[in-house]
Structures are given as C-alpha cells and as structure tokens.
Homo-oligomer: A and B are copies of this chain.
Amino acid sequence: MTTDPLVIFTPSGKRGRFPVGTPVLTAARQLGVDLDSVCGGRGICSKCQVAPSYGEFSKHGVTAREGALSDWNSVEQRYDDIRGLKDGRRLGCQATVQGDIVIDVPPESQVHRQVVRKAAAVRDIVMDPATKLLFVKVQEPDMHEPSGDLERLAAALRDEWGITDVHAPLPVLTKLQKVLRKGNWEVTVALHRGSLDGRHQVIDVYPGFHEGRIYGLAIDLGSTTIAAHLCDLRNGQVAASAGVMNPQIRFGEDLMSRVSYAMMNPGGEVEMTAAVRAAINDLTVDIAAEAGITPDQIMEAVFVCNPVMHHLLIGVDPVELGQAPFALATSDAMGLPARELDLNRMNDAAQVFILPCIAGHVGADAAAVALSEEPGKSDDLVLIVDVGTNAEILLGDKSRVLACSSPTGPAFEGAQISSGQRAAPGAIERVEIDPATKEPRFKIIGSDSWSDDPDFGTPQITGICGSGIIEAVAEMRMAGLLDDKGLIGSPDQTGTSRCIVAGRTHSYVLHDSTADGGPLIAVTQGDIRAIQLAKSALYAGARLLMDEMGVDHVDRITLAGAFGAHISPKHAMVLGMIPDAPLANVRSAGNAAGTGARIALCSVTARRDIATIVRQITKVETAIAPKFQEHFVNANAIPHATDPFPHLASVTTLPSVSFNLGGGGSVDDQGRRRRRARK
C-alpha cells in the first residue's frame, strides 16, 4: 500500500496516501482537511473547489506530474459551461487522485475560515455557524414501506452527512411535502445545530440546490440603543448594520427606573417586553430591507444584553434585579424559537440564542465582552470597561478574571446634561480649550473641521454628545476653569467672560447662537455634577475589582462600548474615569459586546466556550460592597482625591486651582440631596 499516491493539502500541510481513484474531497475528509461541501459531492455546489499544484516541491519532498489528478469529467465540464470555474480550479468531489499531488484549499473553500478579525487582532474567529445549508437526495415514499417525508429526510441527513437527532418545527412540516415534490426529492436544508443540546432543527427547506444566502442577526440589546449586525452565515461578513433607540426609554431612562416602573405599575413589565420586542421586529425589517434580503433568509438571532434587558426580553418581571440579592430568574444561556419571543419578522422557524448572564448586575453583554476580549487569556493585567448607561467592568489575566457592573447612569451618553443630546449630526463631539485664552474650539458630528477653521462654515450646532461632554469637562480642568472638587470658577476667578453666572453657580459657554435664535450651549455646574457621579461610579467599580485582585494599578485598559470608541484616553484619565495607566496602553475595543455577539453568531464553539468562561469569572457585587461608597466619594475629585496618577502626570500637569466659595457643598452632599428629591 506504500505505493499509493501521496496527497498533500496546503495550507494545512496535512498529508496521506490514497488509492488511485480516490476523490480529492474524500481524501480531504479522511485527513480532516477543512474543505467545504454543501451538495455532498454531487458537483452542484462548487464549494469544494481546490487548486492542484504541479511540479517539484522539495519542501514537501514530492513531485506532482501532469495527470496526477483525473481528467475533467462531464460533471466538471457541465459546471464550467454553465457557471465557469476559475483557471486552475477543480471540483474536489469530481477530481480523483492518480499520482502524487499537492492540493491547495483556497480560503473560500474552507468552512472554518477566519472572518471576525478584530482591530487589535488579539485573535481571529473561525466560521462554525449553527445554521448551515445542506443538499440531500431524499428517498421517495413507498406505499409498501410507509414512512413520513420528514423521517426520510432525516434518514438522508444521517446517511449523507452523518447527522442524527433531526427535528422539524411545525412551520417546516407544513411546507415540507410541497418542497420535496417541487425539488423532485432533492432539497437543500437549512439545518440548525443547538449549541446547548446538540439537537438539529430544520429551519427551512428549499427545492433542489439552493443558491440563496442565509443570514443571522447579532443583536446588542442595550438600555438606550438596540444595535444589530446582519451577518452572512456562510462567511461571517456583515451585510448590514442598524440601530434604533430602545423604546423602553419612555418607561425610564436607566435600568433601575425601568425596574421601578415594573414595581409601581402592575403589568408594566409586560408593556416593556412588548415594546422592546416590537422594536426588534421593526429593526429586523429595516435591516433586511437595507441588505436587500427577505426576512425568511434570517435563520437565527444572537442576543447580548444586561440582566434587566435580558429579563424584559424573555418576559420576566425584573423586580428581583432591583434589590439584593439581585437574583436572576435564569442565568444560563438560552436557545429557543424566535416565535416564542414574538420575534416574527425572521424566518418562521428562526432560532434565538441568548448569551448567559454572569450575575444579577453583570449580564450577557459582559459575557460577550469577555468572549471578544478574552481577559482570561491575557499575560498582563487588563481592565476592560464597557461604558454605557450601566458600566460593565472586567479585570483579569490568565490567573483570574473578576467582573462587576456599576450604575453610571446615562450622563456619559449625553443624557441628564443641560445641552446633552444623542450622538447625531450637529452634536459637539470633540472640544479643546486654549489654556491661555480659555477660548474653546470644537468639532461637530458631520463635519471634519474644527470650529475655528474657515472651512467650518455655519452649520447647525444642536448640542453636545457623550464624548463631547467628557472632553469639555476634562479640557475645563486642564485649562484651569474647573477645580479638583469639580467647581466651575467665576468670570473673575477664571479671567474669562465665557464663565457666566448661573444662580449660585457658574457655567462655561461653549457656543452661543442665541442671537440667531439658536441655543446657548454651555457646561453647567449641574452637568459637572452629573459627570462626576457617573465617573465616580465607574472608577469605584474598577477600584473594587483591583482591591479584590490585590493590586493598586493595572497594566492596560480597554474601553469598550460603541461610545468607548470615541473617548480620548487622555481626557478619560484627566477626568478620573479610569485608573492611572500608561496612556499608550489605553485603547478602544469598539463595541466589544457587539463583537462578542457576532462571534457567538458565527461559532457554535464560541457559544460553548462562553459557558465555561462565565463559570470561571468571579463576580463582585458593587451594590453591597462596604468599600464602594468610600471609593465613590474619593473618586468625586477630578481626577481623584487620594489615588496618584503618575502616568497622567508625566504627560500633563493639571493647574492647582480652587473655586470653593463655601456654598456649593460636596458632590457627595449633592448626590444625597438628589436621592432625597427623587423620593
């Protein structure tokens, strides 16, 4: 048998000897080479295309001569006539081994090709989607050996693909018989493999060999926004992205106010559930339209969300999440039909996968960030901060990963800010203040020019968004307009008329278009207080994890969240949002939760991994930690009352000013007063 031809596959390098006449696809499968096939070797799908190489390969110790593969057969010829095969390509299921040969598997013929390539390339994700298209030939019914069409379809999947435990939900059963007959007993099956139970569900069935594409939705269901990526389940590519506001905002801006709404209003949780499901349905319709596909091409949806959003999505009253011990109704990952969640704008049999929650305050969104950023695989100690209405914070390295969440409130997203607005054209997103003249310049969303540039023109300036307010406050601190307690100085104290008197406090004017009937965009003392509350909560959460880890500094910081992408690391550190660290080691990971959702959408293996990851994370509960309040109070100062910021000091020196007139009270007092006022 040693005289059998040697077959070497690249790029894998896998090799083996096979009898003359063995199809290349068979050889690849026996060696475990990643070579795709949808039609099961019938020469229809062309997914198993390979590129044979001829000549002498000293590296492999083999010489491939002409004739090492069989001549084109009629199937290949027909395929080439009708659809065309690239030069040098062969169909792996048709070409057979005749002599020693080196065969390259091009990327598009690999099932498990890498697709979700992250900016910082910590790792790549290979395609291993839950839903795949499989072509099968089904036995025709035989009156004398009666069996159901579904049972014969399942037998074909078993015999041709080795797949067992196949089920069909009612929407598939109702169409199965017509499709089988229309396809003359050849059909393409969209088959979903449950990552939790390994069951196979038929999502759809098409007559004959189906050329159409199938898609999945990766949905980041946030308190404020719902963001979705529509991904091609064949190659992981994003076909369209879309986002809408979470309509639950009308029931409460932040998580706790929504929990309160459910507590105060009988049936309130039912309202909120209906609202968010309707919004997801609308979003599904929109994103399908944008990509030019039909809703029935959407086979599945993967959700990441915080625990309150999670419970409201599945229809569970979140009241327990509003009080200690913050018990989740269910914490594990969930797989269920989309129609059970009233998500009926996808395929009728579409499946939903919801990532697991880490704890009552640390949700599937944090799990998704952990899946995307993999702190548990980091050599150095990394702090990951997912900034949103609720901040999820992860701290860890190879030895251990900790997680908590902290209620920052919506100030970082421009809410509860006097001139605040969503990140939309016309919103100030970047701010610089000249330390000498105290004059600001800014950039608005929708324009590439700074406001002092002649090209800036006279656009409509409507407000200030989250990243804008953070930069503005940090710049005010750097320019000496704001002291370390967070007080804005008076015109006299600061020497600029941009600081204006507003009752017993002061504001700093960024832009005044009142003369033209436009808005006065200023940073008020109230805005500063809102930012201080938010950043103190964030910092205190991070410090709590550092205490638990027994460290006083971190090696690197990752800012996640769609918004994290727009925060300047230096300004975040000046503000004291994050602990001191080398500035070069502070980077943005973009929407890491959304990336985690895409990874889970593209990979069943990742769905299984996340269950393990979540179990290994140590959860820290901020709401009852005795030291949280102390950390919170100390973090009110800008950047901090007690913690040193040596790395920050090495790049900028903050002016030592104090504007305390004795009337403003501490931030902590203000916080208490606010809380009282709410009651």
- Report which A residues bind B (CB closer than 8 A): 140-144, 146-151, 168-170, 173-174, 176-178, 197, 199, 314-317, 319-320, 324-332, 336, 340-341, 357-360, 362, 619, 621, 624
Q: Within the complex, which residue of B146, B174, B325, B331 is in contact with A148, where a contact is CB–CB below 8 Å?
A: B331
Cβ contacts under 8 Å, A320 to chain B: 149, 177
Complex Cα–Cα for A325 and B149 (A) = 11
Closest approach, in angstroms, between the C-beta of A179 and any C-beta of chain B?
A: 11
Closest approach, in angstroms, between the C-beta of A183 and any C-beta of chain B?
A: 14
Assess the B329–A177 pair: CB atoms within 8 A. yes
Cβ contacts under 8 Å, A140 to chain B: 325
Complex Cα–Cα for A358 and B341 (A) = 35
- Name the CB-closest residue of B to A150: B330
Assess the B360–A326 pair: CB atoms within 8 A. no
| Given contacts A143-B621, A325-B141, A151 and B360 within 8 Å (CB-CB) | no
Complex Cα–Cα for A327 and B144 (A) = 11
Q: Within the complex, which residue of B174, B316, B317, B619 is in contact with A146, where a contact is CB–CB below 8 Å?
A: B619
Cβ contacts under 8 Å, A169 to chain B: 340
Q: Within the complex, which residue of B142, B176, B332, B624 is in contact with A329, where a contact is CB–CB below 8 Å?
A: B176
- Name the CB-closest residue of B to A147: B331
Assess the B316–A174 pair: CB atoms within 8 A. yes
Assess the B143–A326 pair: CB atoms within 8 A. yes
Assess the B315–A148 pair: CB atoms within 8 A. no
Assess the A148–B357 pair: CB atoms within 8 A. yes
Assess the B329–A173 pair: CB atoms within 8 A. yes
Closest approach, in angstroms, between the C-beta of A277 and any C-beta of chain B?
A: 12
Q: Within the complex, which residue of B144, B173, B619 is in contact with A621, where a contact is CB–CB below 8 Å?
A: B144
Identify the 6 closest CB pairs spanning chains A and B, nearest first. Answer: A148-B331, A146-B359, A141-B327, A148-B330, A150-B330, A143-B325
Assess the B328–A148 pair: CB atoms within 8 A. yes
Q: Within the complex, which residue of B170, B317, B360, B621 is in contact with A314, where a contact is CB–CB below 8 Å?
A: B170
Task: List, sorted by A's number, 29 A–B pairs whose CB atoms are closer than 8 Å.
Answer: A140-B325, A141-B326, A141-B327, A143-B326, A143-B360, A143-B621, A143-B624, A146-B327, A146-B358, A146-B362, A146-B619, A146-B621, A147-B328, A147-B331, A148-B331, A148-B332, A149-B328, A150-B330, A151-B332, A169-B340, A170-B314, A170-B315, A173-B315, A173-B316, A173-B330, A174-B314, A176-B329, A177-B320, A178-B317
| Given contacts A177-B320, A314-B170, A149 and B327 within 8 Å (CB-CB) | yes
Closest approach, in angstroms, between the C-beta of A382 and any C-beta of chain B?
A: 22
Question: Quick one: which of A144, A148, A314 has the most chain B CB within 10 A?
Answer: A148
Assess the B146–A331 pair: CB atoms within 8 A. yes
Complex Cα–Cα for A610 and B561 (A) = 55
| Given contacts A314-B170, A316-B173, A146 and B328 within 8 Å (CB-CB) | yes
Cβ contacts under 8 Å, A146 to chain B: 326-328, 331, 358-360, 362, 619, 621
Complex Cα–Cα for A144 and B404 (A) = 11
Cβ contacts under 8 Å, A197 to chain B: 199
Assess the B141–A330 pair: CB atoms within 8 A. no
Complex Cα–Cα for A177 and B314 (A) = 14
Complex Cα–Cα for A327 and B180 (A) = 11
Complex Cα–Cα for A326 and B199 (A) = 29
- Name the CB-closest residue of B to A168: B330
Cβ contacts under 8 Å, A174 to chain B: 314-317, 329
Q: Within the complex, which residue of B149, B327, B329, B362 is in contact with A330, where a contact is CB–CB below 8 Å?
A: B149
Closest approach, in angstroms, between the C-beta of A36 and any C-beta of chain B?
A: 30
- Name the CB-closest residue of B to A165: B197
Cβ contacts under 8 Å, A173 to chain B: 314-316, 329-330
Complex Cα–Cα for A103 and B619 (A) = 52
Cβ contacts under 8 Å, A362 to chain B: 146
Assess the B619–A329 pair: CB atoms within 8 A. no
Cβ contacts under 8 Å, A327 to chain B: 141, 146, 148-149, 177
